[in-house]
Structures are given as C-alpha cells and as structure tokens.
C-alpha cells in the first residue's frame, strides 16, 4: 500500500493535500461536519502520485463520482499548531467537474464513505461568505475565481 504524503516526528507534522472546487451556478460543493464547519472536498496525495490523479482517486473514494480535473487555481501553504506539534500543510485547489452531472443533483447530500461524521452538499456563494469554511480565503474568492494561479500563505510557526 502506498502511503499518504504525511511526515511527522515528535515535534512536527507536514502534509500535502489536494482539493476539488466544484461550482454549479452560484453553488459550491462542500464537505461539512456536524458543527457546520465547511471545507473543499479532497484528500491527501500519496507518495509518487500526481496531484491530479490523487484528486480523481480521492473524490471517487469519498463521493463515489468520477471527475474531470480542470486547471489549478489556488495554492495554499499554512502553518498552525496541531496539539503539541508544529504543523505545515500545502494544498492545491483545482477546478473540477463531474463526468456525469446526474451524479450531483441540486438536492445532493451524501455521507462520506470514510468518515460518518462528514457530509457533502451544495451551499450557495452567499452561504460561503458567512460560513466557517476552510480555506478561509475562499469567502472572498469563490465568486471571482481568477484566470491565473493564486498563492496564499497563512500563519507562521
């Protein structure tokens, strides 16, 4: 089994994640927990795997749909404390689309396959702007996705 790109020791942890920005009209597909904290669906890249193939694999595993991966729109580097460890994450965000729109109807709500406490559903851009959502920059960017790659850095150790 190929391991996810997560490295840690007793003081630090580092990971590489990829996420799919799936927009339909003025709605965004998000994952959320029972506390209404939202995130862009995706997952960890496995060692030796491209970010695009990781995204295809992750969304097939977690949502059960096949996607087409579009262009890279955002890169984020973020630093925070994870318990007692210094954490460093790198995330790539791609525009994606389902290969079959019937897989994601307007009333779509689905429990994630690998986490019973996480659900996937659509929220409007107005809801995004008032939500607790990660990455936080998406509140300002979702209704004006750039034609170029933007890079964000958040937090410092």
Supply 59's token pair: 């969304």
Model confidence over 54-111: pLDDT tens digits? 999 999 988 888 999 999 999 999 998 888 899 999 999 999 999 887 667 677 666 6
DSSP output for 130-156 = TSEEESTTHHHHTTS--SS-EEEEE--
Domains of the chain: 6-100+107-146 (3.90.79.10)
Is the pTM higher than 0.75? The answer reads yes
H helix runs in the chain, sequence order: 51-62, 125-129, 138-141
């Amino acid at each position: 089994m190929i391991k996810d790109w997560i490295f840690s020791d007793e003081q630090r942890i580092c990971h590489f994640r990829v996420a799919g920005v799936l927009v339909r009209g003025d709605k965004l597909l998000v994952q959320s927990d029972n506390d209404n904290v939202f995130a862009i669906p995706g997952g960890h890249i496995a060692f030796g795997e491209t970010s695009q193939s990781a995204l295809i694999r992750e969304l097939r595993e977690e949502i059960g749909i096949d996607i087409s991966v579009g262009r890279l729109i955002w890169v984020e580097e973020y630093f925070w404390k994870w318990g007692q460890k210094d954490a460093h994450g790198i995330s790539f965000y791609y525009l994606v689309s389902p290969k079959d729109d019937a897989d994601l109807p307007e009333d779509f709500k689905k429990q994630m396959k690998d986490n019973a406490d996480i659900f996937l559903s659509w929220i409007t851009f107005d809801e995004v702007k008032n939500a607790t959502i990660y990455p936080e920059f998406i509140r300002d960017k979702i209704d004006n996705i750039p034609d170029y790659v933007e890079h964000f850095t958040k937090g410092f150790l």
